[in-house]
Structure 1
Amino acid sequence: MVTSAPEKKRLLSVDALRGFDMFWIMGAEGFFAALFIITGWSVFEIFDHQMKHAVWHGFTAYDLIFPLFIFLSGVSIGLAAKPIKHYSADKRAGLYRHAFTRLSLLILLGIVYNHGWGVGIPADIDQIRYVSVLGRIGIAWFVAIMLVWHLSIKNQWLISISILLGYWLLLECVTLGQFGGGNYSPDLALNVWFDQHMLPGITYRNAPMDPEGILSNLPSIVNAMAGVFVGRYIKATQHQAQRLFVHLFAAGILILVVGYLWGRIMPINKSLWTSSFTLITIGYSTLLLALFYLVIDVWRIQTWAKIFAVIGMNSIVIYLSTSIFNWQYLANSIFGGLVSSVPEGWSSLLLIAATLLLQWLFLNWLYKRNIFIKV
């Protein structure tokens, strides 16, 4: 992990969208439940439902947060990375070193986010949850950067398509014991066999399979590669802003249509990270980026965007802090008198707002001092 200022000009829309993505897991997802209590309006109940993960099959807005982050990591690759042959030998060594270090750190930090082994020292290695959100981000980014460095663009496309189709056929056609063979249940999907036989340590809540388990890493790579393709297209076409927006918007709609049609055959499922889920999240991610790019980088309406960019520039820091630091306790310590003096719905709303404010002020303090902690 290093601390440094950004080295090159960045697209504000990408940083703002990353910050917007993180905003919802900093505590903002609770706004709609509080607003429903205050107003009784059913629209807020609907929005609140969208701020919870689908129980198994299906899709909600909250299910997009994780794949959107992976997609944006791919966009950054597409905007900056080149085939490895374009770099000098010394530069290549540094790039490889950085890639392996980043992968290792994200896996390690993911274990920290999961509170390590959970039983204290001395460690019981069988009680460690090795897989995590950060670990999956690291794996998807690592594979994507390797593909960009070493393969032609045509082959990058072929591998991405092959992963989606291959993963579908794998879950649909392969049977191992009682698992697989088109079974997409939480107890008998093929992923369960892989996690029970090949995944060390424990699974999330000791379930039969882990939502960040072994097999579902494969399609998440395509989320990163889709970001690469979009980032590369932005870099090549940003001088034609209107055309870029139209093409990204059209691509997003088309991918969504294909994803939802595929979902009639292969269930849309985040825990299994099915190919249909992958396409749907790529479609929504592309649409969001197209909208943010139009408003922020083309129309230059940027004041609001900088609020989210402050979060996006130190996204890993704030993500980790939500696990290892009790922001709500701090907010209640400072604003508890005000929070307790208002009715129940308003108290929840004020506490959420205060928690978000403290987190944002911390990130803004880092931002103003050009402290950007990157992995």
Structure 2
Amino acid sequence: MQTTTQAAFDTTGAAPLAEASQPGRLISLDVFRGLTVAAMILVNNPGDWGHIYAPLEHAEWHGCTPTDLIFPFFLFIVGVSIVYALASAKRDRARHPQLLLRIVRRSAILFGLGLFGAFFLQWDLSTVRIPGVLARISWVFLVCGIIFLKTGWRTQAALLAGTLVLYSVLMQLVPVPGFGPANLEAATNLGAWLDRLVFSENHLWKQSKTWDPEGLLGTLPAIGTGLLGLLTGQWLRRPGPDAATKTVWLLLAGGAAIVLGLIWNPWFPINKSLWTSSYVLYTGGLAIVGLAALYWLCDVQGYRRWTKPFLVYGVNAITVFFLSGLVARGLNTWKIPFRGKEAVSMKQVLYETLFAPWFSDPRNASLAGALACVLIWLGVLWVMYRKGVIIKV
């Protein structure tokens, strides 16, 4: 990783801070990224995991809450960002080997950061979780980056459709070894079987150990989410249509994807943990609509005064996600005596000291703790923003 103030792209393809005010800059993309990452910090850091408002929790299994939108929005943004990072260089085929090397290198570093985050303060390679959020981002970035360099939008659209259909067939028709017919249950679906086969239960999500929400097979449709971002980014960069036409068509395309996802839902239910094909269309459609609205507000109409906090989050998105995870794990691991108990995590001490006494409803106290975390990281990122510091790979 490097710290720089020069013109460079971060892991998700974000353009540098130094260019944030230039005329051709897609401010809406940075704002959308910042909104998404700030929401990710909010839902990942409640004051008390036992008291959370329903919209800030994942759906128990089938279904979709606002929290279930965050990760697909980020992968969609990865796809859009790839277009803005590589579109100009793509025309020069002589540069493709160099660009492919950069894509592979960044993907490997992302994957390595994910492994380090899972290993941090546990220091046990025999039980370290191998799948994870950063691992999935790395695979989507790798595959979508290569696809964008080597194919056109028609091929990408065909790959998107083929990926979603193939995943549906695999999950709904292929028998699961040792369990019988295809099914969509947490521990007995085809993806869970594959993860146990490849990683063993020791290296999967510790809350279940029998399946992983960021498992191998589910990364296939997650790449579809990135492909939706590629197609959206290419439409936004297209020189012909005016801004109003681009916005209208984005809204129509997003609406169509939402409807298709809802139509598919009864047969292949919307499910974040399985990353079902209906989930890809539904969340991808919402992402397209969200980006279109921000594009019209920020880039076309110029309403930008409110965007600064999200730009601050957006330009160092991977940095704040990674570091916030390390800090959270550190606070949970650090144990001290507290109120007659021999070992209480520092996170719980801070929560019960600074937040719980001020609220009669523990959900409000928990939310206050999460909001405080968002604001603390905003302060850190604001200092980095003012100094022109972007941490990139």
Shorter-chain-normalised TM-score: which range?
0.7 to 0.9
Quote the Cα distance in structure 2 between the aligned partners of 1:174 and 1:84.
41
More displaced, 126-135 or 216-225?
126-135
Is residue 176–residue 182 contact of structure 2 (8 Å, CA) maintained in 1? no
Is residue 19–residue 312 contact of structure 1 (8 Å, CA) maintained in 2? yes
Quote the Cα distance in structure 1 between the aligned partners of 2:366 and 2:188.
40
Instruction: Tell me by how many angstroms 1:268 deviates.
Output: 1.2
Instruction: Tell me by how many angstroms 1:321 deviates.
Output: 1.7
Instruction: Give the equivalent residue in structure 2 for 1:235.
Output: 237
Quote the Cα distance in structure 2 between the aligned partners of 1:238 and 1:21.
30
Instruction: Give the equivalent residue in structure 2 for 1:24.
Output: 39
Change in 2 beyond 3 A, CA 1:119/1:150: same
Instruction: Tell me by how many angstroms 1:343 deviates.
Output: 4.0
Write the mapping of 1:77-226 to structure 2, written as runs, cut at 5 A.
Answer: 77-82=82-87, 86-87=91-92, 89=94, 91-116=95-120, 119-120=122-123, 123-124=124-125, 126-179=126-179, 181-199=181-199, 201-205=202-206, 206-226=208-228
Instruction: Give the equivalent residue in structure 2 for 1:41.
Output: none
Change in 2 beyond 3 A, CA 1:109/1:180: farther
Instruction: Give the equivalent residue in structure 2 for 1:314.
Output: 316
Is residue 83–residue 149 contact of structure 1 (8 Å, CA) maintained in 2? no
Change in 2 beyond 3 A, CA 1:127/1:354: closer
Quote the Cα distance in structure 2 between the aligned partners of 1:27 and 1:197.
34
Instruction: Tell me by how many angstroms 1:51 deviates.
Output: 1.4
Quote the Cα distance in structure 1 between the aligned partners of 2:107 and 2:322.
16
Is residue 263–residue 276 contact of structure 1 (8 Å, CA) maintained in 2? yes
Change in 2 beyond 3 A, CA 1:105/1:237: same
Aligned AA (2:104): F
Change in 2 beyond 3 A, CA 1:369/1:158: same
Quote the Cα distance in structure 2 between the aligned partners of 1:209 and 1:340.
34
Instruction: Tell me by how many angstroms 1:30 deviates.
Output: 7.8
Instruction: Tell me by how many angstroms 1:79 deviates.
Output: 2.7
Change in 2 beyond 3 A, CA 1:351/1:213: closer
Change in 2 beyond 3 A, CA 1:224/1:148: same
Instruction: Tell me by how many angstroms 1:260 deviates.
Output: 0.7
Instruction: Tell me by how many angstroms 1:49 deviates.
Output: 1.3
Aligned AA (2:293): L
Quote the Cα distance in structure 2 between the aligned partners of 1:340 and 1:217.
39
Quote the Cα distance in structure 2 between the aligned partners of 1:218 and 1:152.
20
Quote the Cα distance in structure 2 between the aligned partners of 1:245 and 1:189.
39
Instruction: Tell me by how many angstroms 1:257 deviates.
Output: 0.5
Is residue 163–residue 218 contact of structure 1 (8 Å, CA) maintained in 2? yes
Q: Does 1:56 align with 2:61?
A: yes
Quote the Cα distance in structure 1 between the aligned partners of 2:230 and 2:357.
50
Q: Quote the sequence identity (%).
A: 29
Aligned AA (2:157): W
Aligned AA (1:77): I
Q: 2:74 aligns with which of 69, 75, 93?
A: 69
Aligned AA (1:261): I
Instruction: Tell me by how many angstroms 1:75 deviates.
Output: 0.5
Quote the Cα distance in structure 2 between the aligned partners of 1:304 and 1:293.
14
Is residue 47–residue 368 contact of structure 2 (8 Å, CA) maintained in 1? no
Instruction: Tell me by how many angstroms 1:86 deviates.
Output: 2.8
Aligned AA (1:317): T
Where has structure 1 moved over 6 Å in runs of 4 or more?
A: 28-33, 327-330, 335-338
Aligned residues: 358
SS in 2 for 1:204: coil
Higher helix share: 1
Is residue 176–residue 189 contact of structure 2 (8 Å, CA) maintained in 1? no
Quote the Cα distance in structure 2 between the aligned partners of 1:255 and 1:296.
24
Is residue 254–residue 286 contact of structure 2 (8 Å, CA) maintained in 1? yes
Quote the Cα distance in structure 1 between the aligned partners of 2:180 and 2:239.
43
Q: C-alpha root-mean-square deviation of aligned residues, in Å?
A: 3.0
Change in 2 beyond 3 A, CA 1:350/1:320: same
- Name structure 2 gaps, 5 residues minimum: 6-15, 332-345
- Name structure 1 gaps, 5 residues minimum: 38-44
Change in 2 beyond 3 A, CA 1:301/1:218: same
Change in 2 beyond 3 A, CA 1:31/1:291: farther
Q: Does 1:365 align with 2:383?
A: yes
Aligned AA (1:187): A
SS in 1 for 2:61: coil
Change in 2 beyond 3 A, CA 1:337/1:158: closer
Quote the Cα distance in structure 2 between the aligned partners of 1:20 and 1:85.
29
Change in 2 beyond 3 A, CA 1:188/1:359: same
More displaced, 141-150 or 75-84?
75-84
Quote the Cα distance in structure 2 between the aligned partners of 1:238 and 1:336.
57
